[in-house]
Structure 1
Amino acid sequence: MGHIWSLQNQYAAWLAVEIAIDEAWAKLGEIPEEDVRKIKENARFDVDRIAEIEAVTHHDVVAFTRDVSESLGPERKWIHFGVTSTDVVDTAQGYRLKQANAQLRQGIVTLTATLKKMALTYKDTVMIGRTHGVQAEPTTFGLKIARWYSEMQRNLARFDRAAKGVEAGKISGAVGTFANVPPEIEEFVCERLGITAQPISSQVLPRDLHADYIATLALIGTSIEEFATEIRSLQRSEIHEVEEHFNPGQKGSSAMPHKRNPIGSENVTGLARVLRGNVITAYENVSLWHERDISHSSAERIILPESTTLLDYMLHRFNRILTNLDVFPETMKANMGRTYGLIYSQRLLLKLIEAGMSREDAYDLVQPLTAQAWDQQVQFRPLVEASAGITQRLSPAEIADAFDYHYHLRRVDNIFRRLGLLPAAK
């Protein structure tokens, strides 16, 4: 990603656009084929020389075209013929975003594949589900990961849509009227670069495309933050159901030798905040004066390289975290018992309703027993078995069935089939 946003690659993209423009002019018969051949063979640029010229011109594109012209003969007059600076800059930026997007997409696909593998591995690994941070009912670790997998599938669809929007170019002249350059030039150049010709533009591409793109990158980063936050929570000492892998010789604290901290997950959490901050800047860039001003340019030179680079890093780092994640199934199962069996209260409630009680009466019968178990820190099931109001309606076998966690997991396979993670039932 660093190379994609380097000055070397920026100028290489600019030169590719300039050459494609001349090829298009030659195809229309407007400039000599021989001159285009010489330009393609001899056109060069030098990053340091461009900087030297720009120190005088205070215009990067003028500095670039003059530097390139120094490597050519009389055919240099066709460099930048009929176009304006942003025809080159925005089109080349769309080309570089296409390069960046190929790398980002691979990162999304790789992370999604890792989540798929983990979801299947831990499909039946029972654990407690938590709502409001409080133990609720049994679920599986694989089901949790499957939710992340589904979210990344949605992110891939969002990314493909938003990426297509910014993989675009415009060569329509100073105010977008094609006054000095026909639309055929734009169509040829964009096709040559593998990007889309924007149907209508001003001097610049419309920046709502870029705002949508940056917002999409931020949303993908927020998903990674969501997943990482869950890992951080599950690694807390009081829970300890998963742990970022801790390498031999690794240190968690300069003061406390025992510390093993989820630093990778904390790292991507912080970077997600930076990504979301860039969305505000991208939105601010949409409102430009008339047919353009340059207020967006300085901001984009920061937020486009930064956002793509950050997300690329986050995708790779979080994929490594998951690939090496230490998972503790026995702790997951043991933690289910830390609330004295209260996690089965809804199942008991429903059984009483099925036995003929109203919902209100059943609720009022069960809730005091849950409060007693919690307040006195005693097991819920013996209290249930000692309750005449319950035992006169439910048999010992029915009570035992209410406290079986397998009941809660009986439709996990159905959910996995919905996601395409398991073959359809025959």
Structure 2
Amino acid sequence: MSNETYENPLITRYASTAMSRLFGAQHKHSTWRRLWVALAEAEAEMGLPVTATQIEELRSQVDNIDFAAAANYERQLRHDVMAHVHAYGDHCPAARPIIHLGATSCFVTDNADLMIFREALELVAKRLAAVIDALGKFALEYRDLPTLGFTHLQPAQPTTVGRRACLWAYDLALDLEEIEHRLDALCARSTKGTTGTQASFLQLFDGDHQKVRQLEQLVAQKMGFSATYAVTGQTYPRKVDAQIVDSLAGIGASAHKAATDLRILAHRKELEEPFEKSQIGSSAMAYKRNPMRSERICGLARFAMSLQSSTSATHATQWMERTLDDSANRRLVIPQAFLAIDAVLILYQNVASGLVVYPKVIARNLREELPFMATENILMAAVAAGGDRQDLHERIRQHSQAAATEVKEHARPNDLVARLQSDPAFAGADIGSAIDPSGLTGRSAEQVDEFLSEVVEPIRTRYPQEASTEELRV
């Protein structure tokens, strides 16, 4: 690594080696060569003059890429595909005449991208499943721990810690559905030709349309695809890029939301992300335990979300059969969207697997707001004991306002329960039972059980979890 020039931090600091390699030069250009092998094999099988010796020579050199020679050719030719055709031909002299036969540049560039995107989406799906699994385990452990709920970031009806984790997990489950849909919908461009008309292949097969179609399907199958895009210009539809990056941005939004919740809960001292023994929270304030992993999730997710508009704009400006202004943009945007989300999910799994809960703080925070939350239960209990509902409602209103004044203007504890217990109108009500937090969380615990059974378990079945060996780069 050079210390003199800029290095992409997605590679050097954040993303995994596995995802980085998918978008590396070796994997990309080896995939190009596998496509040239697939084309040669298919053309031979369809009766074109391509020999077994030529195909075997091509196969033997798939991973033996002379990048220096390719760079030298590109300086001369100003064309990256032809540069690699020549570099491949140098190692395959017998096969040189048939490399790229009938194909356009997008035969290798676009088909290789689709194959790499498939691998990258599969890796994203596995990472999503791993985070969902971790959140599921956390939700089960804290399925019935009451905690203060919030709407508008203001105290609301109690929920449980486990049920809140299910909200985070369900966002990711929906994201996983979208990733799986994108994988199912992904097709090959295959041998569509220069502008999508397959004219060059029609010429190779002397006007035999059926053979051209057979070649297209055969090459797609060799690429591992069961279908091809119905119609293309010079490239596969750039709409596909927009759809893929949209799905990645959706993961970013889900992760950002959850990480923001965790940052707020850390501020309230209810929950904390993992904090290592020697970790430093601040260079100046030694006592601090900053939620730096959640903050990094938010920062990386925000970057991935910002890329969403770029692929849509590229799709919108592909005039007629194609313009080349997509090339430089796609080289930047799509790999970095995958790399950023890869990093987000690695961090998210680490955080979800090591969340620290402080039940006593959670109980204290809930207790401070609980009297107001329980007023309806207290009202029902007093009515059941023979009280007048309208009179009791007015008394609760007056006592609640007085208690709120004590809290807000005098910073005193919430004394609403004591006020109600001293009011003779509530003498027959079991106020203690009415303010029991476990009776105020509705079906939260049961909903956790149902969510784990109906949503999380099927995901665990599809994606069996292995012990993570991914190094956390923070």
Same fold (TM over 0.5): yes
Aligned residue for 1:40? Answer: 59
Matched, 1:280 2:300: no
Deviation at 1:350, TM superposition (A): 5.3
Contact 1:165 1:213 in 2 (8 A): no
1:20 is aligned to 2:53: no
Alignment match, 1:202: 233
The answer for unaligned runs of 5 or more in structure 1 is: none
Partner residue in 2 for 1:222: 253
Give the SS at the match of 1:130.
strand
| Distance (Å, rounded) in 1 between the aligned partners of 2:379 and 2:85 | 78
Offset, 1:191: 1.2
Instruction: Single out whichever of 163-172 and 368-377 deviates more from structure 2.
Output: 163-172
Q: Which moved more, 1:278-287 or 1:375-384?
A: 375-384
- Equivalent in 429, 432, 441 of residue 400 of structure 1: 432
In structure 2, how many angstroms separate the alpha carbons of the residues matched to 1:168 and 1:187? 9
Structure 1 residue 365, shift from structure 2 partner: 4.4
User: Would you say the 8 A contact 1:129–1:135 is kept in 2?
Assistant: yes
What CA distance in whole angstroms lies between the structure 1 residues aligned with 2:340 and 2:289? Answer: 25
Deviations 1:273-311 (A, max 9, x none): 111111010111112011011111111111111011111
How far has the Cα of 1:170 moved from its partner?
3.2
Q: Contact between 1:170 and 1:201, CA under 8 Å: does it hold in 2? A: no
- Contact 1:340-1:379 at 8 Å conserved across structures: no
RMSD, aligned α-carbons:
2.3
Contact 2:136 / 2:452 at 8 angstroms: preserved in 1?
A: no
Instruction: List per-residue Cα deviations over 1:244-282 (Å, max 9, x = no partner).
Output: 222222211111111110000000101111111110101
Alignment check: 8 A CA contact 2:144 2:445 kept: no
Per the alignment, residue 458 of structure 2 pairs with: none
The equivalent of 1:235 in structure 2 is 266
The alpha-carbon deviation at position 333 of structure 1 amounts to 1.0
Contact conserved, 1:20 with 1:189, CA < 8 A, in 2? yes
Distance in 2 between the 1:369 and 1:137 partners?
Answer: 20
Q: Deviations over 1:294-345 (max 9, x none)?
A: 1111111111110111111111111111212211112111111223622212
The sequence identity of aligned pairs, in percent, is 25
* Structure 2 residue 107 is matched with structure 1 residue 87: yes
**What is the SS of the residue equivalent to 2:159?**
strand
Secondary structure of the equivalent of 1:245? Answer: coil
Given that residues 128 and 335 in structure 1 are in contact (C-alpha distance below 8 angstroms), is that contact kept between their aligned partners in structure 2?
yes
Q: TM-score, normalised by structure 1?
A: 0.91
In the TM superposition, 1:283-362 aligns within 5 A as 283-287=312-316, 288-339=318-369, 341-349=371-379
| Alignment partners' CA distance in 1, 2:448 and 2:258 | 19
Amino acid at match of 1:16: R
Amino acid at match of 1:296: D
Aligned AA (1:203): Q
**1:161 shift after superposition:** 0.8
Answer yes or no: is 1:269 the counterpart of 2:298.
yes
Which structure 2 residues correspond to residues 154-165 of structure 1 after superposition, within 5 A?
154-165=174-185
Indicate the SS of the match to 1:421: helix
AA aligned to 1:317 is L
* Counterpart selection for 2:453 from 409, 421, 426: 421
Per the alignment, residue 12 of structure 2 pairs with: none
Contact 1:339 1:374 in 2 (8 A): no
Q: TM-score, normalised by structure 2?
A: 0.82
Equivalent-residue separation in structure 1 for 2:282 and 2:188 (angstroms): 48
- The answer to whether the 8 Å contact 1:204/1:292 transfers is yes
Q: Partners in 2 of 1:211 and 1:357 — Cα distance?
A: 62
Match of 1:106 in 2: 126
SS at the partner of 1:169?
Answer: coil
Asked if the contact 2:38/2:219 (under 8 Å) is kept, the reply is yes
The SS at the match of 2:307 is helix
Where does structure 1 differ by over 6 angstroms across 4 or more consecutive aligned residues?
352-359
User: How far has the Cα of 1:358 moved from its partner?
Assistant: 7.2
Q: Does 1:172 align with 2:192?
A: yes
Aligned 1:355-394 pairs, distance under 5 A: 364-377=394-407, 378-387=414-423, 390-391=425-426
Residues 344-384 of structure 1, C-alpha deviations (whole Å, 9 max, x = no match): 1233355578779678x765543332221111134111222
Distance 1:351 1:159, change over 3 A: farther
- Structure 2 residue identity aligned to 1:328: Y
Equivalent of 2:441, from 409, 413, 417? 409
Is there any run of 5+ residues in structure 2 with no aligned partner, and where? 1-18, 202-211, 408-413, 456-474
- Looking at both structures, which has the greater relative contact order when contacts are Cα pairs under 8 Å and sequence separation is at least 6? 2
Alpha-carbon spacing, 1:337–1:296, altered in 2? closer, same or farther (3 Å): same
Q: 1:14 touches 1:89 (CA, 8 Å); kept in 2?
A: yes
How many angstroms apart in 1 are the aligned matches of 2:214 and 2:31?
A: 20
Distance 1:366 1:2, change over 3 A: same
The correspondence for 1:245, drawn from 258, 274, 294, is 274
Q: Which moved more, 1:302-311 or 1:181-190?
A: 181-190
Comparing 263-272 and 194-203, the one that deviates more: 194-203
Distance 1:229 1:33, change over 3 A: same
The aligned length equals 416
Q: What is the CA–CA distance in structure 1 between the aligned matches of 2:184 and 2:329, rounded to whole Å? A: 21
Distance of 1:167 and 1:252 partners within structure 2: 47
